[in-house]
Amino acid sequence: MRHQRTGKKLGRDAAHRRALYANLAGALIEHGRIKTTVSKAKAVKPIAEKMITLGRRGDLHARRQATAFLRSKDVVHKLFTDVAPKLGDRPGGYARIVKLGPRDGDSAEMVYLELVDEPVVARRGRRVAAAPAGATAAAPAAVEETEEISDEAPTEEEAVAEAPEPTGEQADSPEGESSA
């Protein structure tokens, strides 16, 4: 039994599986996006993100660790010079899985495993929804109209002014008693 054994076997022995992971991670770093099955993408995504984290570290030991896993100096060079600096401000989550649908032939669920290329937007307080890709010029105006968030707590007068007025049974009953 495989109790508490993590990871997918993917129908391969250990050496074949390690080679598959290295090839898929290398292809993702080299091309930025690969088309594969859901199971393979879910297995390779954490490995690829660890390689990108090594690239962000940028020291000699990290380069040697990446070379030992990826087995291609060209891919490691691209990882350390192009990919990692581009994703340098992002605190993780360097790859995403986009579902495509079933593959013709065997109906295996196919996905794109791709590197995230949008810059990270640091947010404080409330989140403002990002505008969709086809948004017009009116969308930035809506973002500007949101109320400004302050770090200070509201004063007592502001809290009383924002409190809802009691209605119906709530107005008749004293504050400490429940109407149930």
According to the model, what pLDDT value does residue 3 have? 86
According to the model, what pLDDT value does residue 142 have? 46
According to the model, what pLDDT value does residue 117 have? 85
According to the model, what pLDDT value does residue 123 have? 72
Residue 146 binned pLDDT confidence (cut-offs 50, 70, 90): very low
According to the model, what pLDDT value does residue 56 have? 94
According to the model, what pLDDT value does residue 7 have? 81
pLDDT at 39 over 70: yes
Task: Give pLDDT tens digits for 63-73.
Answer: 999 999 999 99
Residue 175 binned pLDDT confidence (cut-offs 50, 70, 90): low
For the chain, how many residues are written?
A: 180
Specify the range with the lowest mean pLDDT, choosing from 32-46, 80-94, 111-125, 126-140.
126-140
Strand order in the sheet with 109-115: 33-37, 109-115, 95-102
Q: Which of 37, 56, 21 is nearest to 113 (CA)?
A: 37
Q: Average pLDDT for residues 77-99, to the nearest whole number?
A: 93
- d(Cα 138, Cα 101) in Å, to the nearest integer? 34
Specify the range with the lowest mean pLDDT, choosing from 38-47, 121-130, 165-174.
165-174
Helix (H) / strand (E) element for 111: namely strand 109-115
According to the model, what pLDDT value does residue 143 have? 46
- d(Cα 52, Cα 64) in Å, to the nearest integer? 13
**Domain 14-115 homologous superfamily, CATH:** Ribosomal protein L17 (3.90.1030.10)
Q: Which of 95, 113, 111 is nearest to 55 (CA)?
A: 95
Percentage of the chain lying above the pLDDT 90 cut: 56
Residue 38 binned pLDDT confidence (cut-offs 50, 70, 90): very high
According to the model, what pLDDT value does residue 141 have? 46
Question: Please, what is the average pLDDT of the chain?
Answer: 81
